[in-house]
Structure 1
């Protein structure tokens, strides 16, 4: 009984007083009103470990941050072209040393406005005016590769779009394929209710765009098939990007290689946290 009373007395005297011990990372205290344990780490000159969740906005900042804080425990994880997210866990587990994993930097490759415009309108059928407007707004993305001499350049596509935009009351007839791979459509334009004028319009089979899928990443030359249908005398036109998923995969791999090369000995894993 005497020993139990002594323990209660000792406990009562300890209430509200900091308790420090060589085995504790930070002092603790017994707090009245339920006798709970309160961590007094906030009273120390500095935290006992780093607790930081950070989102960086470009690959260069991600690389700089990892190289600045990396230790022998640091690991980087990435989850492929669909997730396109890179996460650096500065305080990651070791084989026989579990860690808190509370210091993490994350970078998710943001897509560019240009890529978003072309991807959003991929395979979207448009009438003459809508298609012409889209081409004129994005004509600077159109390029002509050196090995594709028959492909239309930006000026050619701009001329086609302006021609379409200028012709309001037109009836189209099925076209014929030319030797250079282009399609020639025959049209009849009505003028002031008269019979109108006949003409021909050449449409290329495909064109190319040069865009950066990821902000701050590499630019890629992406082929786009030119498609059309004549419905009730009206010309509907659209484009089909060739394997846009493959373009994103190549863009992701380029970012991955860049990061892996720059973070030196820090291991990089394909995984989802």
Structure 2
């Protein structure tokens, strides 16, 4: 087979075209990420490290309090940025590059955006909230109940601390005894009677029918009052005692709304209830 000048010129053009493809190309689409086409199937390989800066901001920034969320979101927000909130679990999510408002005057312009740059505040529950909700409606022996009261005495505002400490100490003293009766008084409190042996004089412990806690729901958040009804069962000389928090979900909602309002005020945006998918 012979080659003339025209064949040689065509071959050179083909080789030049191949060489051009082998070099880094600027992507024509909006993310602008450069790429090269390499041999062995000529697949596309993106070359992120060739540019001094990323073509666009992506990632999720995770923060631990509302003040940090506001500071970061305000630093990065754009006209299209939005904030979402969900309560179960409690979370505030800011989407910096959310979809833009559709532009009716431009054909095929629906405002689509990447939604890939986010700032997240997964609102953490306080230790006090986790402690009291973990034991809610769990039947405890008197010693375990007494230890719970002693360890968390500052959380109880009604009755006062000295009264609750006295109750806890009496429960601890009764650990070797048998409970023989429980009677409810006119004021709603309950008197437990226990004996160390069958011939001993009965010892009495007065327990209110309800206590009031005042605890923060979220880390570094405001403290809220929450009622807890005291329940008990005496059987075969054994006392089981527990508490039932009264509508804790409403206290949770109230605390979350406070954080919600703080973020709205400090970012100047109305938060949307829900989450982007």
TM-score bracket, shorter-length normalisation: 0.7 to 0.9
Change (3 A) 1:18 1:200: closer
Change (3 A) 1:31 1:138: same
Aligned with 1:272: secondary structure?
A: coil
Alignment of 1:1-273 (within 5 A): 8-20=14-26, 25-79=32-86, 81-94=87-100, 95=102, 96-144=110-158, 152-167=159-174, 168-178=176-186, 180-185=187-192, 187-190=193-196, 195-264=199-268, 266-273=269-276
Aligned with 1:181: secondary structure?
A: coil
Change (3 A) 1:199 1:269: same
Cα distance in 1 between the residues matched to 2:177 and 2:28? 89
Aligned with 1:130: secondary structure?
A: helix
Q: Deviations over 1:183-203 (max 9, x none)?
A: 233x2423xx56111243221
**What's the RMSD between the two structures over aligned residues?**
2.4
Q: Deviations over 1:94-121 (max 9, x none)?
A: 1232111221111111111111111111
Cα distance in 2 between the residues matched to 1:28 and 1:184? 80
Cα distance in 2 between the residues matched to 1:127 and 1:10? 86
The offset of 1:253, in angstroms, is 1.3
Structure 1: runs of 5+ lacking an equivalent: 145-151
The offset of 1:6, in angstroms, is 7.5
Cα distance in 1 between the residues matched to 2:37 and 2:141? 75
Change (3 A) 1:99 1:7: farther
Change (3 A) 1:141 1:11: same
Cα distance in 1 between the residues matched to 2:144 and 2:26? 74
Q: Is the contact made by 1:172 and 1:235 (CA closer than 8 Å) also made in structure 2?
A: no
Structure 2: runs of 5+ lacking an equivalent: 1-5, 103-109
Q: Deviations over 1:163-187 (max 9, x none)?
A: 1111221332131322x332233x2
Total equivalences in the alignment? 260
The offset of 1:22, in angstroms, is 7.6
Q: Is the contact made by 2:171 and 2:205 (CA closer than 8 Å) also made in structure 1?
A: no
Q: Deviations over 1:44-102 (max 9, x none)?
A: 221221122111111111111111100001111112x2121111110111123211122
TM-score for the superposition, normalised by structure 2: 0.85
Q: Is the contact made by 2:139 and 2:240 (CA closer than 8 Å) also made in structure 1?
A: yes
